[in-house]
Structure 1
Amino acid sequence: MDSPSWTAYAAAWLATLALLLLSRRLRRRRYNLPPGPKPWPIIGNLNLIGSLPHRSLHELTKTYGPLMQVQFGSFPVVVGSSVEMARAFLKTHDVTFSGRPKTAAGKYTTYNYSDITWSPYGPYWRQARKLCIMELFSAKRLESYEYIRTEELMSLLGSLYVSRGAQLTLKDHLTDLSLNVISRMVLGKKYTEETENSIVKPDEFKKMLDELFLLNGALNIGDSIPWLDFLDLQGYIKRMKALSKKFDRFLEHVLDEHDERRRGVPNYVAKDMVDVLLQFADDPNLDVKLERKGVKGFTQDLIAGGTESSAVTVEWAISELLKRPEIFKKATEELDRVIGRDRWVSEKDIANLPYIDAIAKETMRLHPVAPMLVPRMAREDCNINGYDIPKGTRILVLVWTIGRDPKIWDAPEEFRPERFLEHDFDVKGQSFELLPFGSGRRMCPGYSLGLKVIQASLANLLHGFNWKLPEGMSNEDLDMEEIFGLSTPKKIPLVAVAEPRLPEHMYSI
């Protein structure tokens, strides 16, 4: 039999495309879909999305409103960008919108959706969430690790004192702090210092994490146009596979070390989060068996989730204060009044530092680490505000726009912590005006840890040092642009000078 000619393939492809376009048109007639820009064939509205997707979508909301639909290639995406829409998706219809879309990042960098973030809604995910809430991030466990956070924070302050008067890249120091804290809590030791038995060099470990953040935040064409996925036009899948091998080698080593430590020890007491995960993996009574790949997926999630967000937030906060010295002055006045100059700020002091807390909240409002919450997916048909949202539709909650809504915030583009002294907005998912960690079933399970690190590190950086820009640079010269990825850090890292403001003996730490 003769093989089909290229013309037959082309005809079949065109017929398939015509059927897709026809079904989409019929679907739009059957459903009352939210308003949005007219999509192009094949690419949908991807032509309207720039290098900062949250800003592109923000501009579109000005035309189409707080509930709009855009087309990312083959997939409809509904964007909610108001308090009311966030509440509808994350609370009122939380279960309906608790699904996750399939992505290359989820497949290749999380052991085929075996982690907490990308696993589909169902028994496995519910068990994972329960494990996070009841065990990994319980108040008791976080309190037991407070000494780790304190030790690493004191180490950071000591290193800043050594670098006093010299230019430093603040993000590097903040990343080391976050990575050391989370490594000790999750893995049982630090990986920012090379030792004789190190499985990975510190610089390589940081590069692996940077690559993970980039690839999980990248807009991969194949995620939107599946029939182009095999071409890997951007090279992301190749990079994901290479990164996955590196992480698997590292995580296998970590698990082997922990297995060896536990072997033959009766009634072994867990020392870190990997120990806890391995104990659950050994439990025959779990509703869903926690496989070894699940332990590795969880571990990778815990490391990545606990590293970037706090460092990015504190860097933005210090940057904003360098542009507004009067806010820095108010913050240090509060610290001197409440803490004095003969001790450092502890986590328990934060409740008595409302202005420091307000600075942290204002930073999370204006510079959310995740300007679009991790995508959700409709698990069944739903109606929101009179508009139909069919099963399988992807959902984006645009917290970047909510944080700039003039109906909620007076002078929304202005950095003004005082607004949080006037109104008590919660950051733990209850106030839909401010959602740095999300809300509902799918909110970040480690939010309480992230908040502790952000507040304590920010308070002590302001308490211990006067911050200045390098000589010859004015606050007007400070670049405040961001880049987009899994998080949204400053495009140009902050370079600043730290000058001690406490008595010299305070830095003997």
Structure 2
Amino acid sequence: MAVLAAVLAAFIVFYWFKRTKNGARLLPPGPRGLPLLGSLPFLANDLHVWFAELAHIYGPVMSLRLGAKLCVVLSSPEAVKEALNDREAIFANHDIPAVALVSSYGGKDMFWAPYGPHWRMLRKVTVRELLSPTTIEGLSVLRRGEIRRTMEEIGEKAGQPVNVRELVSATAMNVTTEMLWGGSPAQNGEEKEAAGREFRKVTEELVRLLGVPNISDFFPAIAWLDLQGLVRWMRRLSLWVERIFNFIIEERLMTMEAR
């Protein structure tokens, strides 16, 4: 207990020193928040509504602290355009969540990688191999087939309530799994369906974890403790995803060798 108290005291001193040092920077107006916690206790469930209310008070560009993190919120089309269009190279990098560091191999995938030669190489390969007109047109049959099945499902539920969000999400995921498994003759029937269900389940859990508020993101100095166990769970999920993708790669290689 004494060691924990000493660590906590050292962290508070470090936080206040860093905040005082950074206080000399000219920041946009915003709520002061509480010591150490900032505006964390005041976060509303509907963040967009809360930010809109704050924008009426502090203007379209405001700053607020969430734990040890300093955040700048843009609430007008003009401010967003200037940041994401006119000055996109300056604001291109992301603040990577702790769980995303695990799932992206330390922030090395195209979504989380910092802007630079590595990111440009990933974008070039993605556009050439995955998003080229030839590739997109070649997969149009799969997309049309899945959309047709979705429309038939909606037709069968005439007069009943339909959860559009779940239906659209399932359709998009089905298209993705069809793109991954559709061309492999070794996978069909029950095996293909089981692999698709497993992939959808893991992907949904990955997305859910990325959206869970994590103490490690608000207080990076204690991220190593992983108080909520989210990083440990993400690490297990990432191994699960690797196993699925390794299986797909092996099947593709076997198909190519058999030709």
Superposition TM-score tier, normalisation by shorter sequence? 0.7 to 0.9
Q: CA RMSD in A?
A: 2.9
Cα pair 1:152 1:180 within 8 Å, conserved: yes
Q: 1:234 to 1:198 in 2, by over 3 A?
A: same
Deviation at 1:77, TM superposition (A): 1.0
**Hey, what's the Cα distance between the residues in 2 that align with 1:157 and 1:23?**
56
Residue type matched to 1:237 in 2? V
Deviation at 1:167, TM superposition (A): 4.5
1:464-495 superposed Cα distances (whole Å, 9 cap, x missing partner): xxxxxxxxxxxxxxxxxxxxxxxxxxxxxxxx
In structure 1, the residue corresponding to 2:65 is in which secondary structure? Answer: strand
Scaled by the length of structure 2, the TM-score of the pair is: 0.84
**Hey, what's the Cα distance between the residues in 2 that align with 1:177 and 1:252?**
24
Deviation at 1:253, TM superposition (A): 0.8
Question: 1:13-52, aligned counterparts within 5 Å?
Answer: 14=9, 17-29=12-24, 31-52=25-46
In structure 1, the residue corresponding to 2:124 is in which secondary structure? Answer: helix
Question: 1:262-341, aligned counterparts within 5 Å?
Answer: 262-263=256-257
1:51-80 superposed Cα distances (whole Å, 9 cap, x missing partner): 333333232222211111111222211111
Whether 2:119 is the aligned partner of 1:119: answer no
Deviation at 1:124, TM superposition (A): 1.6
Scaled by the length of structure 1, the TM-score of the pair is: 0.46
**Hey, what's the Cα distance between the residues in 2 that align with 1:165 and 1:242?**
42
Deviation at 1:202, TM superposition (A): 4.7
Deviation at 1:13, TM superposition (A): 5.1
2:88 is matched with which residue? Answer: 94
2:237 is matched with which residue? Answer: 243
Whether 2:202 is the aligned partner of 1:208: answer yes
Q: 1:82 to 1:168 in 2, by over 3 A?
A: closer
Deviation at 1:187, TM superposition (A): 4.5
Whether 2:2 is the aligned partner of 1:6: answer yes
In structure 1, the residue corresponding to 2:152 is in which secondary structure? Answer: helix
Cα pair 2:177 2:196 within 8 Å, conserved: no
1:65 is matched with which residue? Answer: 59
Cα pair 2:11 2:221 within 8 Å, conserved: no
Q: Which has the higher helix share?
A: 2
Whether 2:153 is the aligned partner of 1:154: answer no
Residue type matched to 1:24 in 2? R
Query: Quick check: 249-258 or 175-184, which moved more?
Result: 175-184
Aligned length: 257
1:325-361 superposed Cα distances (whole Å, 9 cap, x missing partner): xxxxxxxxxxxxxxxxxxxxxxxxxxxxxxxxxxxxx
**Hey, what's the Cα distance between the residues in 2 that align with 1:181 and 1:161?**
20
2:219 is matched with which residue? Answer: 225
Relative contact order, higher structure (CA 8 A, sep 6+): 1
Q: Identity of counterpart residues, as a percentage?
A: 28
Question: 1:271-420, aligned counterparts within 5 Å?
Answer: none
1:288-341 superposed Cα distances (whole Å, 9 cap, x missing partner): xxxxxxxxxxxxxxxxxxxxxxxxxxxxxxxxxxxxxxxxxxxxxxxxxxxxxx
